[in-house]
Every structure is written in structure tokens, then in C-alpha cells.
Amino acid sequence: MSIPGALIGLVCGGAAGFLLTETVGAFFTFVLDRTLDVDGTPVLLAAFVVVPILSAAAGAVVGARRMNRG
């Protein structure tokens, strides 16, 4: 397993997941004119927490595998 590849993938995947959640929030706010209430909706709050974590984990796996290919 390639530790540097996994770390780079972790950071890039986490950033991509964060960007995805922020893009969804901005879309709902500016295009649909509806603010997402994460305080009142536990499922939505969980989604906003889990998506960057899963993206970071997927990025770490992909980064480690790509670095091992040479």
C-alpha cells in the first residue's frame, strides 16, 4: 500500500466531497430559493457529514491503488 498516494487521495477526496455538499447547498439556496435546514433534519445533517467522509475514503483507496500501479 502506498501511504503518500493514500494521503493525497484522502485530501483530494475529502475536498471533492466537501465541494459536492456545498454545491448542493448553493443550488438549493440560489436556484430553488429554499434553504436547507440541517438543524431540523437529522438525515440531512448526516448526509452532509457522511458524503465528505465517504469521498475521502474512496479517494484514499483510489490514490493508493494508482500509486501501486507504477
pLDDT of residue 61: 95
b/e code 4-14 from CB counts within 10 Å (16+ = b): ebbebbbebbb
Q: How many structural domains are present in the chain?
A: 1
Alpha helices in the chain (DSSP H): 3-26, 42-69
pTM of the full structure = 0.84
pLDDT at 70: 62
Write out the residue range of the structural domain in which residue 24 sits. 3-69
Q: What is the pLDDT along the chain (70 residues), one digit of tens a residue?
A: 688 999 999 999 999 999 999 999 999 999 999 988 888 889 989 999 999 999 999 999 999 998 877 6
